[in-house]
Amino acid sequence: MGSTVHFNECNSDPALPPTDKLPISGLLALATAAFIALLTEVMPAGLLSSIASGLRVSDSFAGQFITAYAAGAFLAAIPVTSLTQGVRRRSLLLVTIAGFATVNAATALSSHYLLSIVARFLAGVFGGLLWSLLAGYAARMSPAHLSGRAIAIAASGATIAVVFGVPLSTLLGSLVGWQGAFGVMSALSLVVIGWVIAVVPDFPGQSKAERQSLVALFNIQGIRPILFLVFTFILSHNTLYIYIEPLLRPSGLSGSVGIVLFTFGLGSLAGLWLVGMLVDRRLELLALASVLFFTLAVLLLALCGNIPSAVYPTVIVWGLAVGGFATITQAALARFAGSAVDVAQAMYTTGWNTAVAVAGMLGGVLLDGPGTIVFPWVVAVVLVLALAGVLSMNRALHRRI
């Protein structure tokens, strides 16, 4: 712990005048960048048949647009972030956003499937790098005692994209076609580049002497419990989320997946707002509440999932639990990682994407085996592990006070 710098000591930069106010415009620029990254990732889900028709491939091949993005983010987050630790932060942020402008333009102009898949993979690379930058950047440009709220504002763009991304991409596709939709995202990236140049401050990268190895970072007290918590919580969430349509069949709501997910999204936005208000003062309580609320939702799904009127309040509770989870765990990670927060965030991103991949496989095995009736009970068992993770994280946080 001797070489670890508290993150709150790292966001007092001489280039920034002392203030007790959040740099809202700069944080909204980061939030918009996050919105572009997440919408770029999920957009093919709302345009699947149009992409398949336009590139003359099957729907399953068009679905690989999402797989290619996830693969890029998974494979590149840690190595690319490690290699770019010495680069000035705003320059790296601008390169990342410009990368989205380029790959989305390439997707918009491409008429070849292979070229489109390569562009999607590169989009994932830029996405993995952006997620590694985002939380640390938001905290560093804000007052130390408001760093958690700053992270919540920057993360709000991703949450909004989760809630509205698929219907928005479908709407864009109906107005300008699937290629035009990617073109719109490219143009929005150019707008954000100008916005970042105008209002987001620059920070230096790390010198070689300041950098920590992955092993040293992984061994910092508190890092492992957070990564374990992220893996188990996101595994639980995505096991349900990916297979939400078959899970809704017993209630007769499988034809209303869009409405159910929109309700979940509203709960997520409420959860993010609540966390943003309290995260700097009640981090440990919020972390525990997220796991307990999610467990409550899972038990309600297990016991009342066949009752239509019970499904909607259940998914609202689920959304409340999930909406602020990324902010909570990123804020905790920033406290432990200190000046190595960007590399820690890359480890976080890799763990998150690993959990999503494992959830897809686990859910598939359960669906082909015992069926949807066991989903909530299996997830409840995983959430017991998540509870152990959050208690371990909270003990480490308490020891830092």
In a domain, 1, yes or no: no
Which structural domain, as residue segments, surrounds residue 25? 21-205
In a domain, 13, yes or no: no
- Read off φ and ψ for residue 76, nearest 5 degrees: -100, -20
- Alpha-carbon span 38 to 40, nearest angstrom: 5
Q: Using N-to-C axis directions, what is the helix angle for 308-323 and 283-304, rounded to 10°? A: 160
The total number of structural domains that make up the chain: 2
In a domain, 50, yes or no: yes
Question: Given pLDDT bands bounded at 50, 70 and 90, which one contains residue 345?
Answer: confident
Answer yes or no: do 129 and 273 share one domain: no
Answer yes or no: do 158 and 184 share one domain: yes
In a domain, 3, yes or no: no
Answer yes or no: do 241 and 348 share one domain: yes
Answer yes or no: do 159 and 252 share one domain: no
Answer yes or no: do 196 and 105 share one domain: yes
Q: How many residues does the chain have?
A: 401
Q: What is the CATH number of the domain that holds 193?
A: 1.20.1250.20
- Alpha-carbon span 392 to 275, nearest angstrom: 20
Answer yes or no: do 101 and 188 share one domain: yes
Answer yes or no: do 351 and 315 share one domain: yes
Answer yes or no: do 368 and 223 share one domain: yes
Contacting residues for 372 by C-beta, under 8 A, at least 6 apart: 243, 246, 247, 249, 250, 366
pLDDT of residue 242: 78
In a domain, 272, yes or no: yes
Answer yes or no: do 160 and 309 share one domain: no
Per residue in 240-269, pLDDT tens? Answer: 987 888 889 999 998 888 788 889 989 999
Answer yes or no: do 278 and 180 share one domain: no
pLDDT of residue 401: 57
Per residue in 23-48, pLDDT tens? Answer: 999 999 999 999 999 999 888 877 88
Answer yes or no: do 384 and 237 share one domain: yes
For the whole model, what pTM was predicted? 0.81
Answer yes or no: do 235 and 193 share one domain: no
The candidate with the shortest Cα–Cα distance to 158, out of 337, 325, 360, 291, is 325
Per residue in 230-239, pLDDT tens? Answer: 999 999 998 8
Euclidean distance between the first and the last CA atom of the chain, given in angstroms as a whole number: 14
